[in-house]
Amino acid sequence: MLIDQFLGHLSTVTKHRHLVMKHCFKAGIFFHGLTHDLSKFSPTEFIPGVLYFQGSRSPNEREREVKGYSAAWMHHKGRNRHHFEYWTDYCPETGTLDPVPMPDEYIFEMFCDRVAASKIYNKDKYNDSCPLEYFLRAKPKRRIEKSTAEKLEFLLRLLSDKGEDAAFRFIRKQVKKNKRKKFNGGI
């Protein structure tokens, strides 16, 4: 049984990484695709991934049910900037941990990640509305910075309404625009 879980988790993580890489290449964020989710192969994330593997959802969900928290998820979100949970900081006025805006390049990678995860977990039932539906289901409970959430939702709606080609075309244009802006000293 454990060998099946090992092979299942390895296969899922590998398929996911390759699909995100493909999406990142389509989006014009090549380095993000090459380095996406490498921490999933660290013992801190990979071992719980095997132990809690189910195939139909993230093993982090099961680890959380069993232990009350997911050590693998806390490790993962702390090392991967494409997760909005990474983008929190202490507010000096209130002393609370609050979400802060994500740079666009990481929002684009987050979009690629969500589309790929939706394809992996939904398999044949996937359609371009699945990532948006998943996003909207959790929207009331999510603590994400407002402009970050708006940008991600815009991309997910574009995918749902116009399809993958339109969404990736839009992202590529934004990536080029952002590169020109950086090159010209932020003007």
- pLDDT, tens digit, 9 for 90 and up, residues 48-90: 999 999 988 899 999 999 999 999 999 999 999 999 999 999 9
Task: Look over the chain and give the mean of its residue pLDDT values, rounded to a whole number.
Answer: 95
Q: Note whether residue 99 is domain-resident.
A: yes
Question: What is the helix, strand, coil percentage profile of the chain, to 5?
Answer: 70, 5, 25
Is pLDDT above 90 for 147? yes
Is pLDDT above 90 for 129? yes
Q: Note whether residue 12 is domain-resident.
A: no
81 close to 113: Cβ distance less than 8 angstroms: no
Q: Coil, helix or strand for 93? A: coil
Q: Where are the beta strands (DSSP E) in 122-161?
A: none
> Which whole number is the average pLDDT over 134-158?
96
Q: Residue 1: pLDDT band by 50, 70, 90 thresholds?
A: confident
Q: Note whether residue 47 is domain-resident.
A: no
Which domain does 170 fall in, by range? 82-183
Is pLDDT above 80 for 98? yes
Tokens of 38: 């490498």
Amino acid at 65: E
Q: Note whether residue 72 is domain-resident.
A: no
88 close to 98: Cβ distance less than 8 angstroms: yes
> Which whole number is the average pLDDT over 124-140?
96
Residue-level pLDDT at 187: 46
Q: Note whether residue 15 is domain-resident.
A: no
User: In the chain, how many domains are there?
Assistant: 1
Q: Note whether residue 71 is domain-resident.
A: no
Q: Note whether residue 51 is domain-resident.
A: no
**Distance between CA 128 and CA 118 in Å, rounded?**
9
* Among 128, 150, 111, CA closest to 26: 111
Q: Note whether residue 60 is domain-resident.
A: no
